[in-house]
Chain A
């Protein structure tokens, strides 16, 4: 090139971002790769998949019917009943396997309710701030100060105990906690100029909250959702244990623990310990997955 006229070069649509685009797309794949390789995700995911398989194919996997009282009471683990039998002669292994079903359906629904309502409240508080935020903020603080078991007991006693009411109660209990997380995320996000730009082109609050801001705070919401599933498993089991949750004869882990925990001292530990381990493993698994998600998210 010999003609020298630097002014002739107005950049015609620069092309340098092609590499950047590929970079970014692979960055998303990279996130997935990091997640899949994360030890927490591997262990948690494996346990979680195990329980999901139990819940779906329980009838095929379980050696016996969870309701059949075909055996002697309190047969110790080993032999035909791998995990022993309970007082009524039901197979503990079968009951633990089938018992994953209710909790795996109920826990995510609790989380959906809690995260759904919490996101809505959190968005409103964070976006509008002012008196709305102050009022709801005080209500939430008051709510969080209440002892959960007592209020849950009261609510379930008043509403009557059923899987539906348990799920609703737990979901509503999660709402304020989620609302606070979402509010914090919205407060940070609304400082961006694109929110100002949206106002300047005449968008209403709902549009700005749900179409502009929400897509940018899905990270913390997804993490919150996973964490809440873990808590829900625990809370549902706890309520069943107290006798206000899922009702007998449904094979539910919390219920199984509550039915015979007094007999541990009598040496019949297996009826209580195996469902308790099941609860623990599921809670830990969900939390491991949540941790892994958060870790990848924050990178």
Chain B
């Protein structure tokens, strides 16, 4: 490559190798990563945890932790070799030419300093005077679409929502007018609607500033929406690189194919198909790997994959794939999906909620987190709860579980019997009947206990088993959740995330529950692990006739597991119906906006609905239809005046909206066309 060519790239990484020093042993994390980001281009690095995507970004700006070493290769920013820079040059480079935005904006902002001062500081560092810095800070906040910048300047970070915080962080990152903006999981942990706003903002800013973007994300949809090109990473190597949309629509590396087949996409439902999984599991850092890092999990692997490093091939224009068997990848793509056992007819009504509300008292105010919810759940049926944070999904689940008592007046019935508010007041049978799978198995499993003692205790308390009967049942549960016998004597921290979640699932199923609440059951897991857990949940449900209440922000997951969907907004049910109906439409305008906000790996519809503003406070709820303040289809004079009732608009489909369903159907069909 010529020198001028190198100069044109905003970031050029050449054969970068990084190793972490763990107790004196150098463990390789990056095994020769090369890619290039042109000025103004957005490049996405995608991969599962431990693949080295963050390490790549940090190494590129020499920001590795103390035990991280660049052992080979170079990283050039605007043509300057970062790996050969002295401390002073490096500081100058970081101050003026690159910026980073991290995952959790709450952590990036100092909680004790007003937002305005923090943003102004970013300009003061660059040499602006105090007044000048303040003015430029206001300007910067406006640039990230914060409408009343002056007021936001005077706030502390905790007074801002997650989305606003992330905007402020982005404003700071843009202070130096960077050539390269590195975004490390910038929207993870944000609501779909907020995520959509932040991604729109990033796209707009890119057009305005011309900065190149390096986006690190595990969410393929986010990358597809934001990036021009994408690099798929696995075990410290880029295995496939190309134009984002093309790579996702027409993957050419076995790993990319596998990853995409793991995702519940295009309305996949558990009754139709099982999800594919990638055999084996992610390699641990430091494990010796064959020449092709994906060899031991690859269905196409042959002898040469173990010994010979795959070279770059270009099966498509603008595509680079590192695989010995590119010519056979089509076989993987064409492999049929495994059909599921088909639809299971739901049984009797197990759980009935009538007019369930929950009011919290907060500083003298009443916060109505849940308002008059009526729902039914049948045996073997899955109900998906959907809504932004603060919509009342978790409040509802907690009321059903008895973690907190619902307000007087509402009734929760299990098999026709009214349940006491709190789990401690309920009978042992009622407790056994309703269990939960938590989001984070690290928190849900006691780290001081072995898997065996965790499961045994659940068996004795929930199933009332002891001795041989308990051992037999333990064995059965172990088989059901696909753990091997030796896992029983390990402690949770000795297990991988997927295995931990299996233990947590076994724990919930110990007492043959009738209803299991799944609170974001896979959001802490990698894509390939998620597929296996979703399959397991579907299998267990069929075998045990259990009913699920699934809470997830991932609509693909909700769609896959759910038979029915309930959409909540500000504690009210906005729409309830069969999963297929709710996803197919006509939708409630809120559901429509939610569906449209979620970035899809299959690409976005041509016209997207953008929700303005944030979820209003539950203390000061809007008049009339609570959604009218953000509703793109609100009818002037009607929606703010009266709250529409939740009515059946067609068979099995309830909606709370003033707009008649035929009108919604017409509107939504027009917009889609």
Q: Are B335 and A6 in contact (CB under 8 A)?
A: yes
Which residues in chain A, 49-102, are within 8 Å of chain B measured between CB atoms?
none
Q: A13-B483, A14-B496 are in contact. List 16 more A-B contacts (CB 8 A).
A: A7-B335, A7-B337, A7-B338, A10-B277, A10-B532, A17-B499, A20-B495, A20-B496, A24-B494, A191-B443, A192-B443, A193-B438, A193-B443, A200-B431, A215-B448, A216-B446
Q: Are A19 and B284 in contact (CB under 8 A)?
A: yes
Q: Are A6 and B507 in contact (CB under 8 A)?
A: no
Q: Are B484 and A13 in contact (CB under 8 A)?
A: yes
* Distance, CA A7 to CA B498, complexed state (A): 18
Chain B residues whose C-beta falls within 8 Å of the C-beta of A298 in the assembled complex: none
Q: Are B498 and A194 in contact (CB under 8 A)?
A: no
27 A-B pairs whose Cβ atoms sit less than 8 Å apart in the complex? A1-B299, A1-B302, A6-B276, A6-B299, A6-B335, A9-B280, A10-B532, A11-B280, A11-B281, A13-B483, A15-B484, A16-B282, A17-B496, A19-B287, A20-B494, A21-B490, A24-B494, A30-B23, A191-B443, A192-B446, A193-B438, A193-B439, A194-B443, A194-B445, A197-B438, A199-B423, A200-B401
Asked if B109 is at the interface (CB within 8 A of a chain A CB), the reply is: no
Q: Are A14 and B335 in contact (CB under 8 A)?
A: no
B263-288 vs A: 1/0 string, CB under 8 Å? 00000000000101111111110010
* Distance, CA A30 to CA B535, complexed state (A): 38
Least Cβ–Cβ distance between B329 and chain A, in angstroms = 9
Chain A residues whose C-beta falls within 8 Å of the C-beta of B300 in the assembled complex: 1, 4
Asked if B458 is at the interface (CB within 8 A of a chain A CB), the reply is: yes
Chain B residues whose C-beta falls within 8 Å of the C-beta of A19 in the assembled complex: 284, 287
* Distance, CA A5 to CA B493, complexed state (A): 33
Q: Are A4 and B332 in contact (CB under 8 A)?
A: yes
- A14 with B438, Cβ < 8 A, contacts A1-B299, A5-B335, A197-B444 known: no
Least Cβ–Cβ distance between A295 and chain B, in angstroms = 17
Asked if A202 is at the interface (CB within 8 A of a chain B CB), the reply is: yes
B525-550 vs A: 1/0 string, CB under 8 Å? 00000001001000000000000000
Chain A residues whose C-beta falls within 8 Å of the C-beta of B278 in the assembled complex: 6, 9
**Most interface-central of A20, A191, A192, A193 (chain B CB within 10 A):** A193
Quick one: closest A residue to B398, CB to CB? A196
Which residues in chain A, 167-195, are within 8 Å of chain B measured between CB atoms?
191-194
A194-218 vs B: 1/0 string, CB under 8 Å? 1011011111000000001001100
Asked if B436 is at the interface (CB within 8 A of a chain A CB), the reply is: yes
Least Cβ–Cβ distance between B491 and chain A, in angstroms = 8
* Distance, CA A20 to CA B486, complexed state (A): 13
Least Cβ–Cβ distance between B63 and chain A, in angstroms = 22
Chain A residues whose C-beta falls within 8 Å of the C-beta of B457 in the assembled complex: 201
Asked if B440 is at the interface (CB within 8 A of a chain A CB), the reply is: yes
* Distance, CA A1 to CA B300, complexed state (A): 6
Which residues in chain B, 404-432, are within 8 Å of chain A measured between CB atoms?
423-424, 428, 431-432
Least Cβ–Cβ distance between B223 and chain A, in angstroms = 22
Residue from B401, B402, B435, B482 within 8 A of A11 (CB atoms): B482
Q: Are A6 and B458 in contact (CB under 8 A)?
A: no
Q: Are A14 and B499 in contact (CB under 8 A)?
A: yes
Quick one: closest B residue to A3, CB to CB? B299
Which residues in chain B, 346-398, are within 8 Å of chain A measured between CB atoms?
none
Least Cβ–Cβ distance between B147 and chain A, in angstroms = 36
B551-563 vs A: 1/0 string, CB under 8 Å? 0000000000000
Asked if B130 is at the interface (CB within 8 A of a chain A CB), the reply is: no
B222-259 vs A: 1/0 string, CB under 8 Å? 00000000000000000000000000000000000110
Residue from B257, B448, B493 within 8 A of A24 (CB atoms): B493
* Distance, CA A14 to CA B497, complexed state (A): 11
Q: Are B440 and A193 in contact (CB under 8 A)?
A: yes
Please give the number of chain B residues whose Cβ is less than 8 angstroms from any Cβ of chain A in the complex: 67
Q: Are A16 and B258 in contact (CB under 8 A)?
A: no
Asked if B667 is at the interface (CB within 8 A of a chain A CB), the reply is: no
Quick one: closest A residue to B528, CB to CB? A11
B507-519 vs A: 1/0 string, CB under 8 Å? 1000100000000
* Distance, CA A199 to CA B280, complexed state (A): 36
Q: Are A216 and B483 in contact (CB under 8 A)?
A: no
Least Cβ–Cβ distance between A231 and chain B, in angstroms = 28
Least Cβ–Cβ distance between A287 and chain B, in angstroms = 28
* Distance, CA A197 to CA B535, complexed state (A): 23
* Distance, CA A200 to CA B299, complexed state (A): 43
Chain B residues whose C-beta falls within 8 Å of the C-beta of A197 in the assembled complex: 436, 438, 444, 507
Chain A residues whose C-beta falls within 8 Å of the C-beta of B438 in the assembled complex: 193, 196-197
Please give the number of chain A residues whose Cβ is less than 8 angstroms from any Cβ of chain B in the complex: 34
* Distance, CA A82 to CA B495, complexed state (A): 60
Quick one: closest A residue to B493, CB to CB? A24
- A16 with B431, Cβ < 8 A, contacts A7-B337, A199-B424, A200-B423 known: no
Question: Is chain B's binding surface mostly helix, strand, loop or mixed?
Answer: loop
* Distance, CA A16 to CA B338, complexed state (A): 25
Chain A residues whose C-beta falls within 8 Å of the C-beta of B337 in the assembled complex: 7
Chain B residues whose C-beta falls within 8 Å of the C-beta of A10 in the assembled complex: 277, 482, 532, 535
Chain A residues whose C-beta falls within 8 Å of the C-beta of B483 in the assembled complex: 13
Asked if A249 is at the interface (CB within 8 A of a chain B CB), the reply is: no
Asked if B462 is at the interface (CB within 8 A of a chain A CB), the reply is: yes
* Distance, CA A280 to CA B278, complexed state (A): 63
* Distance, CA A297 to CA B339, complexed state (A): 51
Asked if A12 is at the interface (CB within 8 A of a chain B CB), the reply is: yes
Q: Are B461 and A202 in contact (CB under 8 A)?
A: yes
Chain A residues whose C-beta falls within 8 Å of the C-beta of B490 in the assembled complex: 17, 21
Q: Are B403 and A200 in contact (CB under 8 A)?
A: yes
Q: Are B403 and A196 in contact (CB under 8 A)?
A: yes
The 3 A-B pairs with the shortest beta carbon distances in the complex, nearest first, are A9-B279, A13-B484, A215-B448
Residue from B257, B280, B335, B493 within 8 A of A16 (CB atoms): B280
Q: Are B299 and A11 in contact (CB under 8 A)?
A: no
Asked if B331 is at the interface (CB within 8 A of a chain A CB), the reply is: yes
Chain A residues whose C-beta falls within 8 Å of the C-beta of B332 in the assembled complex: 4, 6
Chain B residues whose C-beta falls within 8 Å of the C-beta of A21 in the assembled complex: 490, 494
Least Cβ–Cβ distance between A187 and chain B, in angstroms = 15
* Distance, CA A201 to CA B276, complexed state (A): 34
Least Cβ–Cβ distance between A242 and chain B, in angstroms = 43
Asked if B314 is at the interface (CB within 8 A of a chain A CB), the reply is: no
* Distance, CA A129 to CA B293, complexed state (A): 52
Chain A residues whose C-beta falls within 8 Å of the C-beta of B257 in the assembled complex: 6
* Distance, CA A12 to CA B532, complexed state (A): 10
* Distance, CA A200 to CA B504, complexed state (A): 13
- A201 with B461, Cβ < 8 A, contacts A7-B337, A24-B493, A212-B446 known: yes
Asked if B447 is at the interface (CB within 8 A of a chain A CB), the reply is: yes
Asked if B301 is at the interface (CB within 8 A of a chain A CB), the reply is: yes
Chain A residues whose C-beta falls within 8 Å of the C-beta of B283 in the assembled complex: 16
Q: Are A216 and B299 in contact (CB under 8 A)?
A: no
Quick one: closest B residue to A194, CB to CB? B446
Chain B residues whose C-beta falls within 8 Å of the C-beta of A5 in the assembled complex: 299, 335-336
* Distance, CA A42 to CA B607, complexed state (A): 69
* Distance, CA A20 to CA B499, complexed state (A): 12
* Distance, CA A13 to CA B478, complexed state (A): 10
Chain A residues whose C-beta falls within 8 Å of the C-beta of B274 in the assembled complex: 7
Least Cβ–Cβ distance between B559 and chain A, in angstroms = 19
* Distance, CA A199 to CA B461, complexed state (A): 11
Asked if B261 is at the interface (CB within 8 A of a chain A CB), the reply is: yes
Chain B residues whose C-beta falls within 8 Å of the C-beta of A15 in the assembled complex: 281, 484
- A201 with B458, Cβ < 8 A, contacts A5-B299, A17-B494, A215-B448 known: yes
Chain B residues whose C-beta falls within 8 Å of the C-beta of A201 in the assembled complex: 431-432, 435, 457-458, 461-462, 511
Which residues in chain B, 84-140, are within 8 Å of chain A measured between CB atoms?
none
Q: Are B487 and A13 in contact (CB under 8 A)?
A: yes
Q: Are B496 and A200 in contact (CB under 8 A)?
A: no
**Most interface-central of A5, A12, A23, A200 (chain B CB within 10 A):** A200
B315-332 vs A: 1/0 string, CB under 8 Å? 000000000000010011
* Distance, CA A24 to CA B402, complexed state (A): 37
- A216 with B532, Cβ < 8 A, contacts A4-B300, A10-B277 known: no
* Distance, CA A20 to CA B498, complexed state (A): 14
* Distance, CA A212 to CA B448, complexed state (A): 8
Quick one: closest B residue to A21, CB to CB? B494
